[in-house]
Amino acid sequence: MEAGKKQYVLVIPDGAADVYRNNGRSPFALADTRYMDFIAREGVCGLMQTVYDDLPKESMVAQMGMLCWDPHLYYPCGRASCELLALEGVQLNEDDIAFRANLVRMEGSVLASYNADYIYSSQARLLVNRVNEVLRSEFPAFELYHNSDFRNTLVMRQAQIEPRDLICPEPHESHGVEFDLARLLTGRNDKGCRVAEQINNYLQCVAAVLEGEVGNMLFPWSASGVLKLPPFAEVSGFSGRTAIVGCMDFLHGIAKAGRIDSFKVGNGRPDTDYASKGAKVVELLRGGYEFVVCHINAPDEAAHMGDVAGRSSQLR
C-alpha cells in the first residue's frame, strides 16, 4: 500500500435497530459493544438515513444508499434479481420476473417456519433439484435456483409484467398466518392476476412434490426485475480498489452489477464466522484495497427468528 494513502472499512451490522425494549434498552444497548464503543470514542460520529417512507424498509435499499446508488433510481422493486445475479451462468431478461423463494414449513395451511426450521444448504439443494426435475416439463416457464440454506430464487420467464403488479406476502412477517395456496400471490390488475394464478398453480404442485419434508412449501416474495447499476467509481467518485466481504447473495449481485470485487465469507446465520470475516478484511487491506465493506447478517437473522438474547450477542 502506498504510504500516506487512506484506507476505509465500512462494517454493517445488518438489522441492528429494533423497537424491542428491555427496561428501556434496545438489543444494541444490551449488547457488549466495547470495540464499537472504542471506535466511536476515538473517531467521529454522525447520522445517515438508510431507509425511506416511500421504499421497502429492507437491507438492499439501505445498502444501495450507503454505497452511493440512490435506491429511488436503481432499486429494482425487490432483491430477487440481485440475488440471482450473484449466481454464475443465469441471465434475467427484460420480460422475466424473479422472486426470493423461501423454503418454509407449513402446518396444514398455517405458516409455521419462514426458514423451514433453518434448513441447511445440503438438504435444501436436494429439495430444489427434486422440484425442478419433477415440474420442469409441466411448468417450462419456471426455474428454481438455490442460493443458500432456505433462500432460493424463482424465475418466471416471459411474465411480461411489472413486479409492482403482484402482491406477495413476506414470509418472515407472516408466522402463524393461514394461507390458501391457491391464492398465495394476488395481482393489482388484470395482468398481475393472470400471472399470480400461474404462480399459485405452480406452488400447489411444489407442495405436492415436497409433502412430508421439513421444507414442505415454497414461498415466493420480493418480486423484482433486472438490476442495472452504473459503476461504483462513477456514482461515488472513489477510484480506489473496492471490495465487499459477506455472505448474502444480494451483496454479491450489487458488487457484480456495480463492478467491484466481492468475497463470500461466513454465512447468513447467527453462527457466522466472524474471525474469517475479519481476517479477510485485513488481508484485502494489506493487499492494497482502499475501501472494504464488511457485511454481517447475523443480527438481522436473529431478529427474524425472534431471538432477542441471540441478537444482542451478535452485536458485540
Where is pLDDT greater, at 167 or 297? 167
- Whole-number average pLDDT of the chain: 91
User: Range of 127's domain?
Assistant: 80-224
pLDDT surpasses 80 at 180: yes
Assess contact for 199 and 183: CB atoms under 8 A: no
Mean pLDDT across the stretch 13-22? 83
Instruction: Classify residue 69: in a domain, yes or no.
Output: yes
Number of domains in the chain: 2
Same-domain status, 191 and 239: no
For the domain that residue 23 is a member of, what is the CATH number? 3.40.720.10
Q: How far apart are CA 289 and CA 47, in angstroms?
A: 26
Same-domain status, 212 and 88: yes
Same-domain status, 204 and 292: no
Report in angstroms the alpha-carbon separations of 8 from 17, 30, 44. 23, 28, 14
Share of the chain above pLDDT 90, in %: 70
Assess contact for 83 and 254: CB atoms under 8 A: no
Assess contact for 82 and 250: CB atoms under 8 A: yes
300-313 confidence digits (pLDDT tens): 777 666 665 554 45
Q: State the CB neighbour count (10 A cutoff) for residue 138.
A: 10
Q: What residues have CB less than 8 Å from 96, skipping those under 6 apart?
A: 155, 156, 157, 158, 159, 225, 226
251-295 confidence digits (pLDDT tens): 999 999 999 999 999 887 788 888 999 999 999 999 999 999 999
Please identify, among 172, 203, 224, the residue that sits at the C-terminal boundary of a domain.
224
Instruction: Classify residue 50: in a domain, yes or no.
Output: no
212-232 confidence digits (pLDDT tens): 999 999 999 999 999 999 999
Mean pLDDT across the stretch 58-82? 91
